[in-house]
Chain A
Amino acid sequence: MPALLEARDVGKRFGAVVAAADINVQMQAGERVSLIGSNGAGKTTFVNMITGYMKPDAGHIHFDGRDITPLHPRAIVQLGVARSFQISQLFGDLSVLDNMLVAAACHDRRLSLWQAARRDAAVTHAEGLLQRFGLSEHRDRRVVELPGGVRKLLDIAMALTVRPKLLLLDEPTSGVSAEEKFPMMDTIMAALGSERDTTVLFVEHDMDIVGRYADRVIAFASGRIIADDVPDRALATDDVRRYVTGELLQE
């Protein structure tokens, strides 16, 4: 089966800093993959290169059989790649429902000058997603009034509105209290459904979260991949214990 996402010899430098070097990754449809690594290891750079926000200095990224390396972020989204952000990127002055409707409207290439944004199909779809994310009670609240955890969920719900084939989650539980992390990930995974129509790549620092929700772990250090395996094996490697979790350094 051809890979849904394939990075071939991808490299990226910022001056003397190597953010990505010889990155080769393949992801199959339906996989749930976690990117781990210390700060500055190159995780977010990799995500940014997939979404077109940054262009690699070397190599190519293919999605669904197509080279997306030169494409604009908008074109990549239209192909089926959506993302959420480490710091939630929302429309603060609009209501939660309107945020969802903006997401649905943006996905429609033929934006209308007269078709109501609050039309039946869009509102029903948005309300369904809000319900799946447990956000129905916030439907009419302005985003600036929402707590951080709710904003994170809304950010991801908006990314799902475009019905992506690949969903990139950049630290979905960052800034959320320890006791809220697991319920939050449970909500996200439940909202994604058990059919695995959407492939998920998520950046995460909490190894308990990684161990429970990822099928596979890709560990980064200094822009290079140091492990790529199922969570138990990947997290047990010396390189990961030294450069990511820091266990060997402590010993």
Chain B
Amino acid sequence: MTTPEAASGGRFPLKGATPADRQSRIRGVRLGALVLNGLGAFALLAAMGFFAPKWLTYLITMSAANALVSLGIVCLMRGGVVPFGQGMVFAIGGYAAALLYNKLGFTDAVGLVLAGGVAATLVALPFAPLLARYRGIFFAMLTLALSMVTYGLGMKLEVLGGSDGFNVGRATLFGWRPPDAHVGYVLYLLTVAVATAMAMLARVYFDSTRGLVTLATRDNELRVEYLGGSVRQAMTINFLIAASCGGVGGALVVLSLGHIEPQFSYWTTSGEFVFVAILAGWQSVAAVFVASTVLEVVRSFSSRYFPDTWQLALGLFLLFVIRFLPRGLGSLWIRKGGK
């Protein structure tokens, strides 16, 4: 990993500085390095997408959008809980964007993505304080129950299209309607931009005081309370952050897929998001996107070459990761005991 000194191009020599100066410079360099890394990643992916075949840009679009849902799960995992029902917020984000498009005629992609995030957060709001009281399997099963209720509503309600769902047309971007030839690339750029921005925000959050207290909660809730911290508050906020991530991911998927259906909230969909989160581990934000891409690649190639047994390949892959990388892919580049 790039050291702060190296990242600054040697312009901020740290040797000889007072501890306060040193810390201040390290922090400034870290933030600068984060922004530079984010912009660099976006520029690289944008350039790559321009030349890449359509199937690859679509694969990356879907994996980046899905990764946002798993990023939300990682937020919760850092506090010691794993939701089995993140499909709920994924579906709500998707349905919100799709309904706004079809029923109200609002077609702006950025607005639809934001609406997806806001809708999922608002739906999660009344449940967050309740779920913050539960841990382990109880938390997991309660979230699963909520997602299956959402699935049931999606199946039964006519306004949501029933079991077949409904199609969503092509979104515009600030009033501009992308031509057929470029619509895939435009949605790819939008997804990568949103994913990069949210990844950077997630990194800032993980390194914040609240992010550190969340990690501590995972280790020892009792001590957090005896230091004056609120475990429930931390869990509530994490659940809302995870919901907003899931909603944004759902809206992005709907825009690229052009379709929404109750399957978005089904337990197997939630399971895939958990799979990615476990594969990534809770230490690295970038690992979530790598893991999501790995899943999409394994899924695409496995379903093409051995369509009946691709889940077997996926299961074996997960077993391999749990056995040899119990802290996930992120532990390959995050030092032991680090953030």
What's the tally of chain B residues with a CB closer than 8 Å to chain A? Answer: 34
Once A73-B226, A74-B225 are accepted as A-B contacts, the answer to whether A120 and B23 lie under 8 Å apart by CB is: yes
15 A-B residue contacts at CB 8 Å?
A: A74-B226, A89-B226, A91-B216, A92-B220, A94-B219, A105-B210, A109-B228, A111-B210, A113-B204, A113-B210, A113-B211, A114-B208, A117-B208, A120-B27, A124-B23
B50 within 8 A of A: no
B20 near A124 (CB under 8 angstroms)? yes
B216 near A116 (CB under 8 angstroms)? no
Residue of A at shortest CB range from B213?
A: A105
B38 within 8 A of A: no
The A-B contact count (CB < 8 A) is: 124
Complex CA gap A114/B218 in Å reads 20
Complex CA gap A107/B228 in Å reads 5
**A residues 133-180 with Cβ under 8 Å of B?**
140-142, 158-159, 161-162
B211 near A117 (CB under 8 angstroms)? yes
Chain B 21-63: CB-based contact to A (< 8 A → 1; otherwise 0) = 0011001001000000000000000000000000000000000
Residue of B at shortest CB range from A98?
A: B212
- Which residues of the partner chain B approach A127 to less than 8 Å between Cβ atoms? 19
Name B residues whose Cβ lies closer than 8 Å to a Cβ of A.
19-20, 23-24, 27, 30, 204-205, 207-213, 215-216, 218-220, 222-230, 233-234, 237, 336-337
Other-chain contact of B219, A93, A115, A117 (Cβ < 8 Å): A93
A83 near B226 (CB under 8 angstroms)? yes
Chain A: interface secondary structure? mixed
A51 within 8 A of B: yes
Residue of A at shortest CB range from B215?
A: A94
B208 near A116 (CB under 8 angstroms)? yes
- Which residues of the partner chain B approach A112 to less than 8 Å between Cβ atoms? 208-210
B209 near A111 (CB under 8 angstroms)? yes
A119 within 8 A of B: yes
Complex CA gap A101/B233 in Å reads 18
- Which residues of the partner chain A approach B230 to less than 8 Å between Cβ atoms? 74
A106 near B207 (CB under 8 angstroms)? no
Complex CA gap A73/B225 in Å reads 7
Name 14 extra pairs, CB < 8 A, besides A89-B220, A109-B228: A82-B226, A83-B226, A89-B222, A92-B219, A93-B215, A94-B215, A98-B212, A106-B229, A107-B227, A108-B209, A111-B209, A115-B208, A117-B207, A127-B19
A5 within 8 A of B: no
Complex CA gap A122/B20 in Å reads 11
Residue of B at shortest CB range from A75?
A: B228
- Which residues of the partner chain A approach B216 to less than 8 Å between Cβ atoms? 91, 94, 99, 102, 106
B227 near A103 (CB under 8 angstroms)? yes
- Which residues of the partner chain A approach B205 to less than 8 Å between Cβ atoms? 113-114
- Which residues of the partner chain B approach A106 to less than 8 Å between Cβ atoms? 213, 216, 224, 227-229
A77 within 8 A of B: yes
- Which residues of the partner chain A approach B212 to less than 8 Å between Cβ atoms? 98, 101-102, 105, 117
Complex CA gap A78/B230 in Å reads 11
A115 near B220 (CB under 8 angstroms)? no
Other-chain contact of A116, B19, B27, B226, B233 (Cβ < 8 Å): B27
- The distance from the CB of B92 to the nearest CB of chain A, in whole angstroms, is 22
- Which residues of the partner chain B approach A78 to less than 8 Å between Cβ atoms? 228
A102 near B213 (CB under 8 angstroms)? yes
Most central of A103, A106, A124, A140 by chain B CB within 10 Å:
A106
Other-chain contact of A89, B213, B218, B223, B336 (Cβ < 8 Å): B223
A188 within 8 A of B: no
